[in-house]
């Protein structure tokens, strides 16, 4: 009987700990899925579905930003223009908020 009690206490402790730490390991918003992350790391283009997320007012994902090619460097307003695959996007560099999708 004592072993069952010990097992129950350990099980409850483990579950409580996992529930308390779950938010710490939660994904940040709009991270690339693992498969896309591998492609981005290899420098391969993003799939067409992901490009649709490049819209005015959205925050560009950091990995997408890193993959982009600078077309116009940062100006006095903190804006930068990048080419990501076949899209040209103007955004605020500090926040990566998309101002305009040009092409």
pLDDT tens for 15-59 read: 555 545 444 433 334 566 777 778 777 877 766 666 557 889 999
Indicate the Cα dihedral angle 30, 31, 35, 39, nearest 10°. 100
Q: What is the pLDDT of residue 62?
A: 85
Instruction: Name the more confident of 50 and 82.
Output: 82
C-beta separation of 27 from 62 below 8 A? no
C-beta separation of 93 from 102 below 8 A? no
pTM above 0.85, yes or no: no
For the record, the structure tokens of 68 come out as: 């982009």
């Amino acid at each position: 009987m004592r072993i069952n009690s010990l097992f129950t206490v350990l099980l409850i402790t483990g579950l409580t700990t996992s529930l308390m730490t779950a938010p710490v390991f939660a994904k940040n918003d709009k991270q690339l899925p693992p498969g896309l992350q591998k492609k981005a790391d290899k420098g391969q283009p993003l799939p067409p579905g992901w490009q649709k997320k490049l819209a005015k007012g959205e925050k560009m994902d950091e990995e997408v930003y890193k993959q982009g090619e600078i077309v116009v460097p940062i100006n006095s307003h903190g804006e930068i223009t990048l080419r990501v695959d076949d899209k040209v996007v103007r955004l605020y560099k500090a926040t990566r908020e998309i101002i305009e999708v040009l092409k």
